[in-house]
Structure 1
Amino acid sequence: VQESSYLRDIPVVIMSSENVPSRVNRCLEEGAEEFLLKPVRLSDVKKLKPHIMKSKNEQPYFRQQ
């Protein structure tokens, strides 16, 4: 995703049931915006709002035509 000029600015969110700190840290270091552990709670989903709003304001494919 990061290598594609078209996809690179899309926020990446990882959802996994694997609570392995080294894996979580690696995903975040590699560029994931968030790492959500399953089962996902409403409070976890609310963490995504800033990333979604940022994308809507900055990306042409989210802008209304």
Structure 2
Amino acid sequence: MGSGDCELHVLAVDDSSVDRAVIARILRNSKYRVTAVDSAERALEVLEMEPNVNMIITDYCMPEMNGYELLRRVKGSRDLREIPVVIMSSEYIPNRITRCMEEGAEDFLIKPVRQSDVSRLCGRLRN
């Protein structure tokens, strides 16, 4: 099996069922294996049970725990800190983007997320 044949596992997190379905479809079209969940809390549960996630892509604005807080939890964990975290938001707020990037986000995408956004991330992950 060549290195390009390896299937990467992405954890997609969004409280909107429509947005979650869209990002999951885009990721699957890019040949990712996708686990989609509706909250940051659920994402942490999945990571506990299945730590072999290659990337997390999460919405910023969610009830309870937002994407920034999920990012901080992941980057603060000895076991999870190496997993790239990508934040998505429908709002372009420069200081929010800066704060996420300073905290260790891999990227910050403005919704709607496009196939080209995912392809760019895909290239980075596979290298």
TM over 0.5: yes
Alignment partner, residue 50 of structure 2: none
Distance 1:28 1:50 in 2: 19
Cα distance, 1:36 vs. partner? 0.7
Matched, 1:25 2:98: yes
Tell me the matched-pair count: 54
Q: Does 1:36 align with 2:80?
A: no
Q: How high is the TM-score relative to the length of structure 2?
A: 0.39
Highest RCO, 1 vs 2 (Cα 8 Å, sep ≥ 6): 1
What's the TM-score, normalizing by structure 1? 0.72
Aligned counterpart, 1:58 = none
Cα distance, 1:20 vs. partner?
Answer: 0.5
Does the CA-based 8 Å contact 1:11-1:51 persist in structure 2? no
Choose between structure 1 and 2: higher strand proportion.
2
Q: Which amino acid aligns with 1:27?
A: C
CA RMSD of aligned residues (A): 1.3
> CA deviation digits over 1:5-63, x for unaligned, max 9?
11010000001111101111111111000101100111111121144225xxxxxxxxx
Between the aligned residues of both structures, percent identity stands at 59
User: Secondary structure, in 3 states, of the residue corresponding to 2:75?
Assistant: coil
Gaps of 5+ in 1: 55-65
2:54 aligned with 1:8: no
